[in-house]
Amino acid sequence: MIIASKARDIIVSIADLFYPWFSRFLSRETFLYLVCGGGNMVIDLFLYFISYNFILHKQILDLGFVAISPHITAFIISFCITFPLGFLLAKYITFSQSDLRGHIQLFRYGVTVFMCILLNYVFLKLFVEQFHWYPTISKAIATVIIAVYSYLSQKHYTFKQAGK
């Protein structure tokens, strides 16, 4: 736990250096959420890129009983790392005041993340296939909508504080 505490202190200290520039527009909690979530997203993209290009070499993963496309396998690999990392960042940095038990938070975090994945799929299908928007623009719009949903659901559901 000492390493986790030190990591938390370092992340919060670095975020606190930049927070004064944003304090007029964002609460500290929201700023920490953006820092942690943004950092986790960068790690996710990096892991996805490395997995897809250098681990999987853009090849289908054939497990014998099922074949998984390289982009889905890369997603699974990066998700296996960024899901617990995102939970820990949210629990110990962004929403550290929550009084819910850890296993309840983890379950609720999983529900929230599952909903984010589902919403991402639905928005991309809607924006690209129904509205005929460019995929990259569609992904950017979906990401903004989902980030707002994720923040609100984590604040008011996953890491809820008693009496709030």
Give the DSSP letter string of 107-153: HHHHHHHHHHHHHHHHHHIIIIIIS---HHHHHHHHHHHHHHHHHHH
CA distance 22 to 111: 30
Provide the strand spans (E) within the chain. 61-62, 67-68
In this prediction, residue 34 carries a pLDDT of 95
DSSP 100: S
Up-side HSE of residue 53: CA atoms within 13 Å toward CB? Answer: 6
Instruction: Render pLDDT for 54-77 as a digit per residue (tens, 0 to 9).
Output: 999 999 999 999 998 888 898 899
In this prediction, residue 152 carries a pLDDT of 95
Instruction: Render pLDDT for 25-43 as a digit per residue (tens, 0 to 9).
Output: 999 999 999 999 999 999 9
Per-residue pLDDT in tens (0 to 9) along the chain, 164 residues: 688 789 999 999 999 999 999 999 999 999 999 999 999 999 998 999 999 999 999 999 999 999 988 888 988 999 999 999 999 999 999 999 999 999 999 999 999 999 999 998 999 899 988 999 888 898 889 889 999 999 999 999 999 987 66
In this prediction, residue 131 carries a pLDDT of 96
In this prediction, residue 163 carries a pLDDT of 67
Residue 32: Cβ within 10 Å count: 22
- The whole model's pTM is what? 0.86
CA distance 76 to 61: 12
CA distance 163 to 62: 51
User: How far are the Cα atoms of 7, 22, 32 from residue 26, in angstroms, in the given order?
Assistant: 23, 6, 10
Type of residue at 158: T
